[in-house]
Amino acid sequence: MRAATATLAAAGVPSPRHDAQALAAHVLSLPAARLAMAGPPSAEQQARYADLVGQRTHRVPLQHLTGVAGFRRLDLAVGPGVFVPRPETEVLVDWALAALAGTRAPLVVDLCAGSGALALALANELPSRPRVHAVDNDPLALAWARRNAEARAAAGDQPVTLHRGDVTDPTLLADLAGSVDLVIANPPYIPDGAAVEPEVAEHDPPAALWGGPDGLDLVRHVERTAARLLRSGGAVAVEHADLQGRSAPALFHRPEWTDVADHPDLAGRPRFSTARRSRPDRVPDPTCRGATIPR
């Protein structure tokens, strides 16, 4: 592992020691915390380890090599064709759990679901038999989401209903219009042409990344779709890039929304915008700061 750490560091891998340990744990089928107690690896295990470390030096994502991405309490299957869930997305789930506290059997929609990370985490953590729908327009991503959803349902979580659909379609989930308690989304939001790490550029699907000239093309559609789907008082949370801490919440400064806010991730960087669907008896604050005043 010491030699692998040095090899990975020389290749520019950002967390070489962590990745060397994670790959060793994967090859030995052990939790990383138990590596110190492992016996000597077999020749076959050593060869497999060398192969995986070599692939990692070519910046194949760690999660593609192990086949697993941790997200909240779940281990999700990932690989080529699906976006690898990121730790910064986990904070949206905390906000969603608080927003839905006290709502019985909440109706939840995850737009741009990818592996199903947000939808499945909420199905796993919401206490009151949630009804969760997840939408993506990419059949490859949906195949991974289906695999994860089947595994979670077999483990006893509430089932998640998957839809192949496009968030730009004004008829998407028309039968749920006006009845949803929470819309949550981590859409593509990287401005076209921005520099990204090789793991991202070469292994995340392009449709999961690029969001047009300012990165907000899909966020605009999420805002429109959420306004249509949510019941009065329902909540929306949408992830954005750290440079969009003003421009993303600004999209919600419309009469349909109240309580507009932006939130940081665990590293303190602006990470997601939230809002509540206005009640009909309230009108927007003319200063457009997201507050509402009684009519």
Ligand X SMILES: C[S@@+](CC[C@H](N)C(=O)[O-])C[C@H]1O[C@@H](n2cnc3c(N)ncnc32)[C@H](O)[C@@H]1O
Q: Considering CB under 6 A, how many residues would be counted as binding ligand X?
A: 23
What sign results for the dihedral spanned by CA atoms 254, 257, 258, 264?
Answer: negative
> Minimum distance from CB of 116 to ligand X (Å)?
7
Q: Is 208 in the site for ligand X (CB under 6 A)?
A: yes
* Total length of the chain: 295
Q: Contacting ligand X (CB under 6 A), which of 5, 63, 66, 115?
A: 115
The stretch near ligand X (CB under 6 A) out of 19-27, 40-48, 111-119, 230-238 is 111-119
Q: Specify the pairing of strand 257-264 against strand 230-239.
A: unpaired
In the region spanning residues 212 to 241, those forming contacts with ligand X, defined by CB under 6 A, are: 218
> Contact region for ligand X (CB under 6 A) — 19-27, 28-36, 186-194, 222-230?
186-194
> Which helix (H) or strand (E) segment is 56 a member of?
helix 43-57
Cα–Cα distance for residue pair 262/65, rounded to 1 Å: 35
202 to 71, 85, 174: CA distances (angstroms): 22, 16, 36
Q: Are 23 and 66 a contacting pair, CB within 8 Å?
A: yes
Shortest Cβ distance from residue 118 to ligand X (Å)?
5
- Cβ–Cβ under 8 Å, residues 110 and 131: no
Q: Which is nearer to ligand X, 130 or 187 (CB)?
A: 187
Contact status: 167 vs ligand X (CB under 6 A): yes
Query: Is residue 85 within the footprint of ligand X (CB under 6 A)?
Result: yes
Interacting residues toward ligand X by CB under 6 A: 83, 85, 89, 112-115, 117-118, 135-138, 141, 166-168, 186-188, 207-208, 218
